Amino acid sequence: MSSMHGFPLEGFTFGKVVIIGAGHVGAQCAARMLEANDATQIVLVDVDEARALAQASDLDDLGFGLGSAPIVRAGTYDDVADAHIVVNTAGRTRRPGETRYDLLDGTIKIMESICGAIEEVGFNGIFVTISNPVDAVTDYVKRRLNLPRERCFGTGTALDTSRLARLIARRLNVSRREVQAMCLGAHGEEIFVPASHTFVGGVPLERYLQMNPEARESFSLAEIVAENEAKGANIITGKGSTEFGISGVVSNIVSTIIGDIRRMMTLTVELEGEYGVEGLPCGVPCILGQAGIELVMELELTARERELLDEAMASIATSVEHEREIAG
């Protein structure tokens, strides 16, 4: 099979997606992929083999009802060897009152086992991780599996970006489709919003508010950002986990890769000089296609936005340094 846009497809089963972790998030990711109908195979791998089998059987029923083409089954790490995409959902569960950084030690311990199993079978596809803290986990997997940054990244601030655009649209009473906005930095508590790159119907946000005095009086981007930052914790307090929103993000990522859509998404990727940062991961806008991340977009930031990025990078650096100490 010939390569596409530099992606080495030889030895791969095109469209085969392996989901590591068959809990709530892993199962929801599989369900969204069945609805999207892009993957050729969806394989669930879990240390609890009975759960993986049960989830796969239940999801197979969903696929039949939807008329979806993908085969859904339980598998083993042997399935990773020829996977096009691996989606990692495994990690320590976040408890009410905890931040994502509180999960680091437990999640890295889990990732050591997962990466060890992957090393045994070999892998050269695209690895996407959800597990928190996503920046440190992405760094660990990239280094441990020796993957290039375009094929090892995290969901980053993609969910935050989706939430932000929806909140802005609701406050301004416009269609979600008319809002272009993004969150950068670290997923959750350390996001920041570059207001200079926020648009409503193609018009800069500040200009839009000038044209709409009534909306300007009640609109507060700071309040929206604070609500956005707190949303994940609020969901966990209420139901114990988040699952639906992030599964939608993962499905979009998989569809974008398989369909070579070249969509812009804010993903966690190691920076190689962009924004003056070298060797640290961060949630930044990227162009995603069949080869993985095809472009890391370096935005022009205002002085204040640059300060916010520096604050986010300082937090990420602390998390990554701790992760590297744990990993040795």
Confidence band (pLDDT; 50, 70, 90) for 280? very high
- 198 residue type, one letter: T
Output the domain CATH number for residue 182.
3.90.110.10
Cα dihedral 301/302/304/310 (nearest 10): 30
pLDDT at 98: 62
Q: Which of 88, 148, 154 is nearest to 316 (CA)?
A: 154
Mean pLDDT of 73-93: 94
Same domain, 269 and 206: yes
Same domain, 163 and 124: no
Residue 9 located in a structural domain? no
| Token pair for 174 | 């416009």
pLDDT at 9: 52
Residue 4 located in a structural domain? no
Whether the per-residue pLDDT at 92 is higher than 90: the answer is: no
Q: pLDDT (tens digit, 9 = 90+) per residue, 294-321?
A: 999 999 999 999 999 999 999 999 999 9
Sign of the C-alpha dihedral computed for residues 48, 130, 295 and 248 taken in this order: positive
Whole-number percent of the chain with pLDDT over 90: 80
Residue 2 located in a structural domain? no
Whether the per-residue pLDDT at 270 is higher than 60: the answer is: yes
CA 134 to the chain's CA centroid: 8
CA 244 to the chain's CA centroid: 13
19-33, 229-243, 294-308: which range is least confident on average? 229-243
Same domain, 149 and 168: no
Mean pLDDT of 200-205: 96
Same domain, 147 and 110: yes
Mean pLDDT of 189-207: 93
pTM: 0.93
Residue 8 located in a structural domain? no
- Determine the Cα–Cα distance for residues 228 and 164; give it in Å rounded to an integer: 6
Confidence band (pLDDT; 50, 70, 90) for 230? confident
Whether the per-residue pLDDT at 189 is higher than 90: the answer is: no
Whether the per-residue pLDDT at 1 is higher than 50: the answer is: no
Residue 5: active-site member: no
- 58 residue type, one letter: D
CA 77 to the chain's CA centroid: 22
Whether the per-residue pLDDT at 4 is higher than 60: the answer is: no
Residue 5 located in a structural domain? no
Mean pLDDT of 192-207: 96
Number of domains in the chain: 2
pLDDT at 232: 82
Confidence band (pLDDT; 50, 70, 90) for 236? confident
Mean pLDDT of 261-274: 97
Output the domain CATH number for residue 46.
3.40.50.720
Residue 250 located in a structural domain? yes
In order, the DSSP letters of 189-219 are: TEEE--GGG-EETTEEHHHHHHH-HHHHHH-
Same domain, 85 and 204: no
Same domain, 204 and 265: yes
Q: Which of 5, 24, 84, 187 is catalytic?
A: 187
Q: pLDDT (tens digit, 9 = 90+) per residue, 178-188?
A: 999 999 998 86
Same domain, 169 and 147: no
Same domain, 168 and 149: no
pLDDT at 3: 37
Identify the domain boundary among 133, 154, 175: 154
Mean pLDDT of the chain: 92
Mean pLDDT of 63-89: 95
Same domain, 84 and 116: yes
- Determine the Cα–Cα distance for residues 205 and 178; give it in Å rounded to an integer: 11
Same domain, 255 and 118: no
Q: Which of 97, 112, 176, 177 is nearest to 143 (CA)?
A: 112
Residue 256 located in a structural domain? yes
Pair 311, 190: CB distance under 8 Å: yes
- Residue 224's domain comprises 158-327
Confidence band (pLDDT; 50, 70, 90) for 142? very high
Confidence band (pLDDT; 50, 70, 90) for 2? very low
Q: 215 or 278: which carries more pLDDT confidence?
A: 278
Same domain, 221 and 175: yes
Identify the domain boundary among 97, 128, 154: 154
Identify the domain boundary among 154, 187, 216: 154
Same domain, 120 and 171: no
Whole-number percent of the chain with pLDDT over 70: 94
Pair 12, 106: CB distance under 8 Å: no
- 171 residue type, one letter: R
pLDDT at 5: 47
- 27 residue type, one letter: A
